[in-house]
Amino acid sequence: MPAEYADIEFENNAQRLPLVLCLDTSSSMTGAPMDTLNAALDDWTRELHDDVSLSYSVEVAVITFGGRGVTAYRGPEALQPGERVSPFLPAHAFRPPRLTASGVTLMTEALELAMQVVAARKQELRAQGLQYYRPQICLVTDGIPTDGTGHFTTSWHRIVPVLAAEQEARRFRLYAIGVGGITDTGEQVLQAFAPMFHARLHGFPFRQLLQMMSASANAEQRGAGDEVFEKIFSQFKTQRPAWEA
């Protein structure tokens, strides 16, 4: 864009696609995993900015669960609890937060907040007379749900029927991804959350994961059927470049 127009925000009536990254930032992510995640977010942000089909339709929100409890970010800035500001930013304006690892794994509470912000954003879009595609939530963790003291908790069972009903009603699509050394128990939790779109992966393939989310967003824009999303996800699980197909 020419420099003289750089500060002008043009009206954007594109159909929106809300996307929530729900990211584990607990202490087990310290070191290389968190460095890899931050680098992948930086690269993905640049790719979003360069993607004409996504940059003005996708809206990105980040929710983390770790040392600060559950935190919603509006771009690089953490929102305060109870702050009545949407965490969603259009992809062309999105800048990722710089994440650090510490604390416990409040996974259940993070998913509950993700559902809340998605519902609130859809209501805002309807009030503005704007249409939207089915939102997407991507949960990424290397652990199991804990309480505030770091002990495993079964409180996650309470959201399973809610998630099932919301996904059945096509209110959002949830991807639940286990990375690193996630245990069998952790994988079982993810399977309960997202029966269709869960995966247990070796290592921390965050770049591939974020590219898969872009591929899924593109498919959503094209009005693809469920079989397309299943194919994209299946290829991602084997770490083949579905987004290049």
Lowest mean pLDDT segment, chosen from 10-19, 132-141, 194-203: 10-19
* Nearest alpha-carbon partner for 18 in 145, 188, 133: 133
Task: Name the one residue in this structure whose structure tokens are 């929106």.
Answer: 16
Tokens coding 163:
């998630």
CATH number belonging to the domain at 15-205, selected among 3.20.20.70, 3.40.80.10, 3.40.50.410, 3.40.47.10: 3.40.50.410
pLDDT of amino acid 3:
43
226-244 pLDDT, tens per residue? Answer: 999 999 999 998 864 444 4
Model confidence at 14, pLDDT cuts 50, 70, 90, reads confident
Residue 228, Cβ density class (10 Å: 0-12 exposed, 13-18 middle, ≥19 buried):
middle
Helix extents (H) in the chain = 32-50, 52-55, 107-127, 160-168, 184-193, 206-221, 226-237
Question: Using one digit for the tens of pLDDT, what is the confidence trace for 123-174?
Answer: 999 999 999 999 999 999 999 999 999 999 999 999 999 999 999 999 999 9
- Mean pLDDT for the stretch of residues 215-227: 95
- For residues 49 and 242, which has the higher predicted lDDT (pLDDT)? 49
User: 245: pLDDT confidence band, cut at 50, 70 and 90?
Assistant: very low
Q: Give the residue ranges of DSSP H helices in 128-225.
A: 160-168, 184-193, 206-221
Q: Give every CB contact of residue 234 below 8 A, 6+ residues apart in sequence.
A: 242
Query: Residue 239: its pLDDT value, please?
Result: 63
63-73 per-position pLDDT tens digit? 999 987 999 99
Q: What is the pLDDT of residues 59-96, one digit of tens each?
A: 999 999 998 799 999 999 999 988 889 999 999 999 99
Residue ranges of domains in the chain: 15-205
Share of the chain above pLDDT 90, in %: 87
Mean pLDDT of the chain, nearest integer: 92
Does residue 104 contact residue 146 with C-beta atoms inside 8 Å? Answer: yes
